[in-house]
Amino acid sequence: MSQSRSTQSSNRRVWLRALLYAVLLVFVVYYLLPLYVMLVNSFKPLDEIRGGNMLALPDLWTLEPWKAAWSSAQIGVQPTGLKPYFFNSIMMVVPAVALSTLLGAVNGYVLTKWQFPGHGLIFAMILLACFIPFQIVLIPMARVLGILGLAGSTPGLVLVHLVYGLGFTTLFFRNYYAAFPTELVRAAQMDGANFFQVFWRILLPSSGPIIVVTVIWQFTNIWNDFLFGASFADFDSIPMTVALNNLVNSSTGVKEYNVHFAGAILAALPTLVVYVVSGRYFVRGLMAGAVKG
């Protein structure tokens, strides 16, 4: 009697486990579906998409959409493909990430190890800057970039991303350094190390993880930005996201879905690669950005 009851309950458990895995698998499919659709259709000739099934594998595999998206598709008025914009994005992302990370590190250092009256208020103001809707700065920013002679240029975009990334980079380093033992800093000071030596010799060597988190966070955000790119860039500085949107939403000519998909993957590739290579740090950045203070 009791035996049959226990087999019954273990049977139930097996079924529940199976159901659990089935549900999880359904969601795996759900999250992968758009990526699958983009990938599969980027290798199809156009008429296969129009006449066929978007979920089917290509009958005829072709690399043409990829070549077109990269180097010959019509974007705006020029048939340049996404290539020049890809490099625009690189030229914008690298200095913006480097500068904002560096400044964030120093800010975090000062706000935790060299506190002065009012440091709390200053941190709160910097923190609040993370959350403003960027619509609020578009009009004055356009003017200031004009005054500085940076309108429509990559250095202009670097400045914009530097400024609006400072909040997050400062937050990351500040929280990380807050947990760093202050006794070590004091001890080094006793030994005669000055402000920069303490930072350089004591804090920086153990900052590896937070630097990775910050760089990934900044890279992802700046690469994926659209609003600033759309507002402040000219041909020489238009970033990848804006170019992709121009490609997909241009009203002239046939809609080349396969080229759009290939272009979308090209635009997603750098951040996806970063995610695959260092997903753990990516998640940590997301968490740090979510759980404030």
Partner 1 sequence: MKSQLQAWLPRIVLAPSFLLILLFVYGFIAYTGYLSLSDSRMLPSYGWVGFANYDRLFGLRHWKTALNNLWIFGLLYIGICTALGLFLAILLDQKIRGEGFIRPIYLYPMALSFIVTGTAWKWFLDPGIGLESIMHNWGWSSFDFDWIKNRNYAIYTVVIAAVWQSSGFVMAMFLAGLRGVDSEIIKAAQIDGAQSWRIYWRVIIPMMRPVFLSSFVVLAHLAIKAYDLVIALTGGGPGRATELPSTFMYSYTFTRNQMGVGASAAIIMLIMIFSIIVPYIYSELRSEKRS
Cα separation, 210 vs 284, whole angstroms: 9
> Is residue 209 within the footprint of partner 1 (CB under 8 A)?
no
> Is residue 224 within the footprint of partner 1 (CB under 8 A)?
yes
Whether 193 and 276 have beta carbons less than 8 Å apart is answered as no
> Is residue 204 within the footprint of partner 1 (CB under 8 A)?
no
Q: What is the DSSP letter of 68?
A: I
Smallest gap from Cβ 107 to partner 1, in A, equals 5
Contacts (Cβ under 8 Å, ≥6 apart) of 55: 36, 37, 40
Whether 88 and 239 have beta carbons less than 8 Å apart is answered as yes
Cα 158 to Cα 95, 117, 145, 182, 214: the distances in Å are 7, 32, 11, 34, 17
Give, to the nearest 10 degrees, the angle between helix 154-178 and helix 208-224: 150
Cα separation, 247 vs 239, whole angstroms: 12
Q: In the set 40, 49, 82, 96, which binds partner 1 (CB under 8 A)?
A: 49
Burial class of residue 176 in the structure, from the number of CB atoms within 10 Å of its CB (0-12 exposed, 13-18 middle, 19+ buried) = buried
Residue-by-residue DSSP string for 125-162: HHHHGGGS-THHHHHHHHHHHHHTT-TBSHHHHHHHHH
- Binding part of the chain for partner 1, among 70-78, 79-87, 117-125, 179-187 by CB under 8 A, reads 117-125
> Is residue 166 within the footprint of partner 1 (CB under 8 A)?
yes
> Which CB, 61 or 131, lies closer to partner 1?
131
Q: In the set 8, 10, 33, 77, which binds partner 1 (CB under 8 A)?
A: 33
CA-based nearest residue to 68, from 55, 53, 49, 83: 83
> Which CB, 211 or 259, lies closer to partner 1?
259
> Is residue 138 within the footprint of partner 1 (CB under 8 A)?
yes
- Binding part of the chain for partner 1, among 49-57, 60-68, 76-84, 147-155 by CB under 8 A, reads 49-57
Print the binding letters for residues 62-81 with partner 1: x by CB under 8 A, - otherwise.
--------------------
Q: In the set 63, 139, 148, 187, which binds partner 1 (CB under 8 A)?
A: 139
> Is residue 110 within the footprint of partner 1 (CB under 8 A)?
yes
Smallest gap from Cβ 67 to partner 1, in A, equals 19
> Is residue 26 within the footprint of partner 1 (CB under 8 A)?
no
Contacts (CB under 8 A) with partner 1, residues 246-285 = 248-249, 257, 260-261, 263-265, 267-268, 271-272, 274-276, 279, 282-283
Burial class of residue 59 in the structure, from the number of CB atoms within 10 Å of its CB (0-12 exposed, 13-18 middle, 19+ buried) = exposed
Q: Count the residues in the chain.
A: 293
Number of C-beta neighbours around residue 225 at 10 A: 24
Q: In the set 14, 57, 60, 136, which binds partner 1 (CB under 8 A)?
A: 136
Q: In the set 63, 77, 124, 148, which binds partner 1 (CB under 8 A)?
A: 124
- Binding part of the chain for partner 1, among 69-77, 80-88, 156-164, 202-210 by CB under 8 A, reads 156-164
Q: In the set 45, 52, 58, 76, which binds partner 1 (CB under 8 A)?
A: 52
